[in-house]
Amino acid sequence: MNLYIELLASTIRMSVPLILACIAGLWSERAGIVDIGLEGKMLIAAFVAASASAVFGSAWIGLFCAILASLAFALVHGYASINQRGNQVVSGVAINMLAAGLAVVLGNEWFREGGRTPALPPEGRFLPFEFPMLYDIPVVGPFAKIFLTHSILAYFAFAIVPISAWALARTRFGLRLRAVGENPQAVDTAGISVAALRYRAVIIAGVLCGVAGAFISTSLSSSFVRDMTAGSGFMALAALIFANWRAFPALGACLLFGFLQAVGNFTQGASIGGFQIPVQFINMLPYVLTVVLLAGFIGKSVPPKASGIPYVKDR
Amino acid sequence: MMQSRGELPHWVDVGLIPVINLAVALIASGLVVLIIGENPFEAMWIMVQGSLGSLKGWGYMLYYATNFVFTGLAVAVAFHAGLFNIGGEGQAYMAGVGAATVGLGLDFLPWPILLPLAILAAMAMGAFWAWIPGVLQAKRGSHIVITTIMFNFIAASLVGYLINYWFRPVGKMAVESREITGAYILSAREVAREYFGVKLASSPLNFSVFLALIAAWAVWYLLWRTKLGYEIRALGANPSAAIYAGIRPDRIIIIAMAISGALAGLMAVNEILGVQHRLLLGYVGGAGFVGIAVALMGRSHPIGILLAAMLFGLLYQGGSELSFAKPEINRDMVVVIQGLVILFMGAFEYAFRPALSALFYPLGGEGNQ
Amino acid sequence: MTPAIELIGIDKRFGSVHANKDVTLAIAPGSIHGIIGENGAGKSTLMSILFGFYQADSGEIRVKGKPVKIRSSSDAIALGIGMVHQHFMLVEPFTALENVVLGAEGGRLIGPALTKARAELVRLAKDYELEVDPDAIVGELPVGLQQRVEILKALFRGAETLILDEPTGVLTPDEADHLFRILRILKDQGKTVILITHKLREIMAITDRVSVMRRGELVATRETKATTVEELAELMVGRHVLLRVEKGPSNPGETVLEVKNLTWKDRKGIARVDNVSFSVRKGEILGIAGVSGNGQSELLDVIAGIARPTSGQVIFEGKDIGILGDPRHVRAEGLAHVPEDRQHRGLIGSFDAAESAILGWHHLESLGKGFRLDRDKVVARARAEMEEFDVRPPDPLLKSAKFSGGNQQKLIIAREIKSNPDLLIVGQPTRGVDIGAIEYIHKRIIQLRDEGKAVLLVSVELDEIRSLSDRILVMFAGRVMGERGPRATERELGLLMAGVGQDAA
């Protein structure tokens, strides 16, 4: 019983960075900017959050700096994709490498621990809220242990999903943003700036990746270690495709992938009907599912029509 | 079509712009070194010394370059067909399984037979791992960039599983296969000792370096001297002209991806058969991604790729020397430089064109000669 | 009465192309004003300038008598100008309602705007016969309804003047009739309509006045009632410098190509080639005339094997090649194809001339045994062809994109003629080609005929068709309107091209 509660609580924890990165990707790609660089933005943010928090002794300052760092990378990507009309995939790959390299190089120079950052004291971390009096109440207790044992960033992540869904569906900004990802020329002829819309989308993605990175190094963990995002950004990308570029399905996909990660962490594999499934198969399941979906064997996933295509005004 | 301005002389497009982009990437890297509080010129000098200043340095530099030639060629062949293969990492990883399976499983065979078989198995596995995304792109329209990324992760888990559950001898703690003794590529050091009686400093350089040269030549021959290569380049350069010419895009996509994967697979030959002599976890170590930088820098031409691979070989070898000499500068500085090279040579490829255009056509006249 | 719109001395160049030459035009309010001209006459550019998509190099725009600057489409919208583009500017996954509201939301939330727009759509539907289900996904609507959404978009933004760019190109005749009804109602309600088209019949049916454009110039403006189709056709085509080609009588031999009841439908199920039948014999040139976009391109694609026929047969030397659906096999049967779109199809700009000169023929054994491609042979072949066809500069190593249009075309013609075909199909052989090259290309085509080969020529240049062809077919809306001899008058052909006077084809 306790194991299952732990597993579910861990599922929620593991899915938080996925949700944030996935929603970041959602904003970016709905505006027509392909974002392979989610991973890199999260990684640099995780590093900067842990560093700033270690230096200033405040998790909030860490978070703030992490957002700035991620934003800087997002703007580089925006400039490459929007102004330079460069290849968005190439730009994303560059950002991932740059982040992976810079985090270790700067971390090594600042803290001399081979790229690690120092272990953070409690005030330097986003610690989970605790409600001990709730945990022992029958019926409610288990639920409280699953849902009410997380840090503020986790709740932010879960709040951002309905907010994003609402903003995309119901606001002027959301309407225009969705339009620019499908047919930028229609937006342009309606007298709206394509570049401004796309920059705003890229900025939102940067902020969300910043929060995701800060969560990884200052909430899930208490320091930065190299490559600590371990492919979360790509898993978020997979979740986004799996969710067909929609906010609530994205939440579902991230929870599913988070659950698989949690299972992988908890056991060295799971057994179904006495048959042992190696942990590696659980780890690869999200990616396999995504490929199967992409191949059109289960349902269909259709990206925004203009994604990845630089907008050129001339016909 | 309406590019009345911006038509630059050929040598500017092929020569000057890449050089400028590379210079800017290196200057940006220098700034990072400055931020760390070190002298970038000194760092550069240590790197050059560390790789070109000794035979050992040369050995390591060429060993790294061998890997990068393979992965760079892999990216380039796909580029020529208009495809972006980000999956070199996974293809090279899977190729190791092929090499090890044959190397270990058929080790009753004499080496002149076993070694070519192991090499072919590596290429076949790499090709297979790229062939699937190729088929999915050609027949089902699944975007190759996404599928190859996913295949990198699937390969990472799958190979981890295979080593753990199939290759690891019972009772062995280290997660790796037993030693491959039959399919053995001689290292430069062994050759020097055995045949020339010369003692060389230890380095992982081995005969695979010649395989890299052959591969570079073969890619050049394929692309510019065969009908298939013509079709690959035609499809990449102008899909509608290719269709007019009766070239079938789906067929070419699949073939180009398989060739690309086979080339990436050769990286496993250098690493598994040439250096490690066993299958071990994570041996690709990012070489697949370096291939992207190498291909971009080498303008997808084999000669450019050879040069770019040597430059990155220099950076990798020099980078580790640098981190010994100056612990303040971590080895991962190389990854930073790599990222900057990809950024400036790929994403900002045309950033300096307008300025150059203005330089060449100061009066804003039309650039049609 | 003050004109609704005045364009004064509008001039616009794109590089070396002079798209609009000193165009002056006044549009009366509450009228339907047609602008007619051949493709490339500069109609669309002119309207794009009016809608703020391009800026004129010089000239003035006045709206209701006041000089205005239109720097972007939002300026145009603010001045009460709406435009229905030839390619719709719609967001396909959006509902009709969302498309209408996009860019005119009126507040941060779209809820109120949607409610308002829904009421407005009901009103517009009543007033103008513009019924559209507001909640329908636009991408799933038929084109006729998509166009209505475009019109609704403009009206919702308070457009007083509505520009329609080739609005009937994608419509069925029924849909087109409905559109005309809507336009008349708009006019009755006091709106001004500018109709851009190349179809004479539409002009006669619906406009009050008509302006004719030719090669960037506005050549005439007429009251529609006071003009005739014949006059307009002549104004449109103009009196071209007649390129007379030395040509003896033809000696037609046996039939080489027979097209039987050929139909090709596009993805949306519209028949672009509609039940077409004809044959081409050895030693003759069959010309297919028609305004571009009437199915000629698709016809060429099907014969060349690039597209598969939806129904019907393409019989080449007794063999149905339609079912092959593969250009390579079609070539192997002895058919050569000079494509209409030189830049995008005929050659590969980044390849050198030698490589472009084997495009489509690269698998020939004479260029290398088996899988090999012998570079020396490729270059030698190109050098010989370039010399024979006087391609300048005669440098096979120069990038294809660096040649002038005429020399690129000579390179392509050389490639296809030197493949020694039994049938050459040629699309727009001299589009964008200088006079010298035109004469040469014409000479080579006739020479090919005199050698007893068959030629199928598609061109929008009537002159070219008339001077080269031994027989002329006219295509309109995917169908063959009729066949004429080489002595047919320009007017006669022009009427057929406009879809007037169909005879039993």
Domain ranges of chain B: 10-354
Kindly list the partner chains of chain B, i.e. chains with 3 or more CB atom pairs below 8 Å: A, C
- Per-residue confidence (pLDDT) for residue A273, from 0 to 100: 60
DSSP H or E run through C423:
strand C423-427
Instruction: Provide φ and ψ at B245, rounded to 5°.
Output: -80, 0
Instruction: Choose among B25, B275, B43, B288: nearest CA to B155.
Output: B288
Tell me whether residues C102 and A190 touch, CB distance under 8 A: yes
Q: How far apart are the first and last CA of chain A?
A: 63
Residue C79 structure tokens: 């001045």
Residue C302 structure tokens: 């099907």
* CA atoms of C248 and C443, how far apart (whole Å): 12
- Per-residue confidence (pLDDT) for residue C504, from 0 to 100: 40
**Chain B closest-CA separation from residue A171 CA (Å):** 30
- Per-residue confidence (pLDDT) for residue A268, from 0 to 100: 60
* CA atoms of C48 and B82, how far apart (whole Å): 33
Q: Give the SS3 label for residue C136.
A: coil
**How large a percentage of chain B has pLDDT more than 90?**
60
Q: Which residue of A has its CA nearest to B86?
A: A93
Residue A3 structure tokens: 């194991």
Residue C206 structure tokens: 């619906």
Which residues are CB-neighbours of A272 under 8 A, at least 6 positions away?
A: none
Please write the tens of the pLDDT for every residue from A10-24.
999 999 999 999 999
* CA atoms of C43 and C86, how far apart (whole Å): 12
The total of other beta-carbon atoms located within 10 Å of residue A302's CB is: 9
- CATH 3.30.1370 corresponds to the domain B10-354: no
- Per-residue confidence (pLDDT) for residue A113, from 0 to 100: 83
- Flag whether pLDDT at B34 surpasses 60: yes
- CB neighbour class for B223 (10 Å; exposed up to 12, middle 13-18, buried from 19): buried
Q: Which residue of A has its CA nearest to C98?
A: A175
- Per-residue confidence (pLDDT) for residue A41, from 0 to 100: 97
Instruction: Provide φ and ψ at C133, rounded to 5°.
Output: -70, 115
Residue A191 structure tokens: 């007298």
Instruction: Choose among A40, A16, A61: nearest CA to A219.
Output: A16
**Chain C closest-CA separation from residue A246 CA (Å):** 13
DSSP H or E run through B210:
helix B208-225
- Flag whether pLDDT at A284 surpasses 60: yes
DSSP character for B187? B
- Per-residue confidence (pLDDT) for residue B95, from 0 to 100: 97
Which stretches within C389-482 are classed as H helix? 405-417, 435-450, 462-468
* CA atoms of C336 and C448, how far apart (whole Å): 12
Is the separation of the CB atoms in B69 and B62 below 8 Å?
A: no
Q: pLDDT confidence of B313, banded at 50, 70, 90? A: very high
Mean pLDDT, chain A, rounded, equals 90
Residue B17 structure tokens: 């712009």
Exposure of A122 in the CB half-sphere (CA atoms within 13 A): 3
Superfamily of domain C5-237: P-loop containing nucleotide triphosphate hydrolases (3.40.50.300)
DSSP H or E run through A272:
strand A270-272
Q: Point out the residue among C327, C329, C373 whose CB comes nearest to the CB of B245.
A: C327
In chain C, which stretches have pLDDT less than 50?
Answer: 504-505
Residue A82 structure tokens: 């929007």
Mean pLDDT computed over B222-243: 96
Mean pLDDT, chain B, rounded, equals 89
Burial of C386-413, coded b for 16+ CB within 10 Å and e otherwise, reads: beebebeebbbebbbbbbbebbbbbbbb
- Per-residue confidence (pLDDT) for residue A48, from 0 to 100: 96
Residue C242 structure tokens: 């007649």
Residue B342 structure tokens: 């990809």
Q: Point out the residue among B2, B158, B350 whose CB comes nearest to the CB of A84.
A: B350
- Per-residue confidence (pLDDT) for residue A272, from 0 to 100: 60
Tell me whether residues A296 and B140 touch, CB distance under 8 A: yes
- Per-residue confidence (pLDDT) for residue C248, from 0 to 100: 83
Is the separation of the CB atoms in B76 and B304 below 8 Å?
A: no
Q: CA-based Rg of chain B, rounded to a whole angstrom?
A: 22
This complex has an ipTM of: 0.89
Question: How many B×C Cβ pairs under 8 Å?
Answer: 81
Instruction: Choose among C154, C82, C415, C468: nearest CA to C288.
Output: C468
Mean pLDDT computed over A144-149: 83
- Per-residue confidence (pLDDT) for residue A315, from 0 to 100: 43
**Chain B closest-CA separation from residue C344 CA (Å):** 6
- Per-residue confidence (pLDDT) for residue B2, from 0 to 100: 34
- Flag whether pLDDT at A116 surpasses 50: yes
Exposure of A192 in the CB half-sphere (CA atoms within 13 A): 23
Which residues are CB-neighbours of C206 under 8 A, at least 6 positions away?
A: C32, C34, C180, C183, C184, C195
Partners of B289 on chain A (C-beta within 8 Å) are 93, 97
- Flag whether pLDDT at B367 surpasses 70: no
* CA atoms of B300 and B318, how far apart (whole Å): 25
Partners of B149 on chain A (C-beta within 8 Å) are 36, 234, 237
Q: C371 touching B, CB under 8 A? A: yes
Q: A229 touching B, CB under 8 A? A: no
Return the minimum-mean-pLDDT range out of A129-138, A278-287, B150-159. Answer: A129-138
Q: Give the SS3 label for residue A252.
A: helix
CATH architecture for the domain at C242-334+422-505? 3-Layer(aba) Sandwich (3.40)
- Flag whether pLDDT at B101 surpasses 70: yes
Mean pLDDT computed over B326-340: 88
- Per-residue confidence (pLDDT) for residue C334, from 0 to 100: 93
Tell me whether residues C102 and A183 touch, CB distance under 8 A: no
Please write the tens of the pLDDT for every residue from B116-147.
999 999 999 999 999 999 999 999 888 898 99
Please write the tens of the pLDDT for every residue from B169-182.
888 888 888 888 88
- Per-residue confidence (pLDDT) for residue B5, from 0 to 100: 41
DSSP H or E run through B105:
helix B88-105
Which stretches within chain A are classed as H helix? 2-30, 38-56, 59-78, 88-111, 132-135, 140-147, 152-170, 172-182, 184-189, 194-215, 232-242, 247-266, 279-294
Mean pLDDT computed over B320-346: 88
As a whole number of angstroms, the longest Cα–Cα distance in chain A is 67
- Flag whether pLDDT at B366 surpasses 60: no
Which residues are CB-neighbours of C453 under 8 A, at least 6 positions away?
A: C282, C283, C421, C422, C423, C424
- Flag whether pLDDT at B368 surpasses 80: no
- Per-residue confidence (pLDDT) for residue C505, from 0 to 100: 39
Partners of A195 on chain C (C-beta within 8 Å) are none
Q: At what angle do helices A38-56 and A232-242 cross, to 10 degrees?
A: 130
* Domain C5-237 and domain C242-334+422-505 have a common topology: yes
Across C266-421, the runs of DSSP E, i.e. the strands, are: 271-281, 285-289, 311-316, 319-320, 335-338
- Per-residue confidence (pLDDT) for residue C460, from 0 to 100: 81
DSSP character for A123? G
Please write the tens of the pLDDT for every residue from A181-197.
999 999 998 889 999 99
Compare B98 and C216 and report the one with higher pLDDT: B98
Please write the tens of the pLDDT for every residue from A221-272.
999 998 899 889 999 999 998 898 999 999 999 999 999 888 888 776 556 6
The domains of chain C are located at: 5-237, 242-334+422-505, 349-420
Q: DSSP string covering C203-219, please?
A: HHHH-SEEEEEETTEEE
Instruction: Choose among C112, C110, C107, C87: nearest CA to C99.
Output: C110
Residue recorded with tokens 């081979």: A114
Residue C336 is which amino acid?
Answer: A
* CA atoms of A62 and A124, how far apart (whole Å): 8
**Chain B closest-CA separation from residue C305 CA (Å):** 8
Burial of A144-167, coded b for 16+ CB within 10 Å and e otherwise, reads: bbbebbbbbbbebbbebbeebbeb
Tell me whether residues A187 and C102 touch, CB distance under 8 A: yes
Instruction: Choose among B288, B305, B256, B316: nearest CA to B94.
Output: B288
DSSP H or E run through C78:
helix C73-78
Across C215-322, the runs of DSSP E, i.e. the strands, are: 217-223, 255-265, 271-281, 285-289, 311-316, 319-320
How much is the pTM? 0.87
- Per-residue confidence (pLDDT) for residue B365, from 0 to 100: 40
Residue C435 is which amino acid?
Answer: I
Query: Across chain B, how many H-helices and E-strands are there?
Result: 16, 0
**Chain B closest-CA separation from residue A115 CA (Å):** 8
* CA atoms of B149 and B89, how far apart (whole Å): 9
Helix, strand, coil percentages for chain B (3-state, nearest 5): 75, 0, 25
Which residues are CB-neighbours of A277 under 8 A, at least 6 positions away?
A: A269, A270, A271
Q: Cis before residue B18, ω within 30 degrees of 0?
A: no
Is the separation of the CB atoms in C201 and C481 below 8 Å?
A: no
What are all long-range contacts of B252-255, with beta carbons under 8 Å and residues at least 24 apart? Answer: B252/B81, B253/B81, B253/B83, B253/B134, B253/B137, B253/B138, B254/B131, B254/B134, B254/B135, B254/B138, B255/B134, B255/B228
